[in-house]
A and B are shown apart, each in its own frame.
Chain A
Amino acid sequence: MNLSFALIAFLILASAVLAATRRDLIHSALLLVGNWLGVAFFYLWAGAEFVAFAQALVYVGAISMVVLFAVLLTRRTRTELPLLVATRDRVVSAVLGGLAVFGVLAVAVLRTPLDINPAKPAASVSMLSLGQQLMGPHAAAVLIVGVLLTVSLLGAVVLASSDADGKGEAP
């Protein structure tokens, strides 16, 4: 079990690091899809099947399309941008800040005494109980998320539509 967890962790972290450092935007997006698949594998390893398939369906199947359409609709000639001096300073300070945050989080995790139950195969929740929970106690949240998705889609359409007086041209 530890070997599979190590492989999944390596896949997640390696694809995230590679996606963050690529010059070509499409390569970044496709490596991030690998990251999302790695996270789905982690959910499967942890026994949450439904969430794993939902993650694959939503992230890999839909959000990747959104990101790729955004990349293609907003490129000039090639998708690589030149590196400025100010960018380099910003990168260095961002990396230092990130390392500091990771240090704080790692110390917090390692110092806390956490008691665990590794041998708990019954952690997986059955589909029927998941459905009953979603439609019972959490029904209000489901409806609110539905309204949120509708509102965000309508807002996205309004934001992206071109102006009536032709000032903004359609990409």
Chain B
Amino acid sequence: MNLLQACLLVSSALFCIGLVTALSRSNTILVLLGIEIMLNAANLNFIAFWRFSPAGTAPATGVIFVLFSIAVAAAEAAVWLALVIALYRHQQNIRLQEATRLKG
């Protein structure tokens, strides 16, 4: 098992931790935190492959992709905050499982 595989295992483990968090917690903000963990795991993957890429490939593509990913994550966090506030205003708590008015 070389170093690249170790990096990929770490990012896979982080992704699964984020997945479990997003699926199992009932607090909307913790679901957001799980999604941010998953985004970070994907970025880790990008930088791991960029670091160990063979010489001759485009030197900056991985870094640029991660930069855009961080920017998009910031935009998503802002929209999530607004959604949480709107949800709180409707049901006075932020249990995600209670937001079922559109169900069925």
Contacts and interface: CB of A to CB of B under 8 A. Distances in A.
Direct A–B contact in the complex, CB atoms closer than 8 angstroms: yes
How many A residues touch the partner, as a band? 35 or more
A125 B59 contact: yes
A32 B77 CA distance: 14
B48 A98 contact: no
A152 B78 contact: yes
A109 B62 CA distance: 19
Interface of B: 1-10, 12-21, 23-27, 29-30, 32-34, 36-37, 40, 43-44, 47-48, 50-55, 59-60, 62-64, 66-68, 70-86, 88-90, 92-95, 97
Given A12-B44, A36-B40, 19 more contacts: A5-B6, A13-B17, A20-B37, A28-B33, A39-B44, A51-B70, A55-B70, A58-B70, A66-B77, A67-B81, A105-B12, A110-B1, A110-B9, A120-B51, A122-B55, A153-B75, A158-B82, A159-B86, A169-B89
11 contacts: A12-B44, A16-B17, A20-B25, A46-B47, A67-B77, A74-B85, A76-B92, A117-B52, A118-B2, A125-B63, A134-B67
